[in-house]
């Protein structure tokens, strides 16, 4: 189980970019982005700062709940680490509460 905050994503974006594009085989544009990401103050940079450097918001942004589809920072990743064919789900706090209520309701029926 993992909770990833906006700050966690900002702190790790340069490392993740380096892992993806750091070899240099992707061209100078990717290296310019990496240099700019390395120059960010990871403790004060915002989602908007990262988006301005990269050109899109896919590297730092709120999570989308796999149950209800809401985009939120208040979500946890459950299951295996994300990878091809992994069993992973990102679930928001509202859906987690509904799931817990469903289990508790079922418990009262089974225990009656």
Model confidence over 53-63: pLDDT tens digits?
999 999 999 99
Q: Is the pTM of this model over 0.85?
A: no
What is the residue range of 80's domain?
A: 62-112
Residue numbers in the chain where pLDDT is lower than 50:
none
Residues 52 and 69 grouped into a single domain: no
* Residue 69 and residue 51 share a domain: no
Q: How many CA atoms lie within 13 A of 98 on its CB side?
A: 7
**At which of 40, 61, 82 does a domain end?**
61
Is residue 91 within 8 Å of residue 99, measured between CB atoms?
yes
**Could you tell me if 11 and 53 lie in one domain?**
yes
Block residue for tokens 């469903």: 102
Is the domain of 67 the same as that of 42? no
DSSP letter at 43 equals: T
My answer on whether 53 and 108 are in the same domain is no
How many structural domains compose the chain?
2
């Amino acid at each position: 189980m993992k909770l990833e905050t906006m700050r966690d994503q900002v702190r790790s974006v340069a490392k993740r970019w380096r892992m993806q594009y750091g070899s240099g085989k992707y061209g100078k544009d990717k290296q310019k982005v990496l240099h700019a990401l390395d120059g960010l103050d990871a403790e004060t940079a915002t989602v908007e700062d990262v988006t301005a450097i990269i050109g899109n918001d896919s590297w730092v942004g709120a999570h989308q709940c796999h149950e209800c589809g809401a985009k939120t920072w208040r979500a946890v990743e459950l299951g295996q680490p994300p990878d091809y064919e992994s069993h992973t789900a990102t679930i928001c706090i509202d859906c987690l509460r509904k799931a817990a209520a469903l289990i508790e309701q079922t418990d009262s029926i089974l225990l009656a």
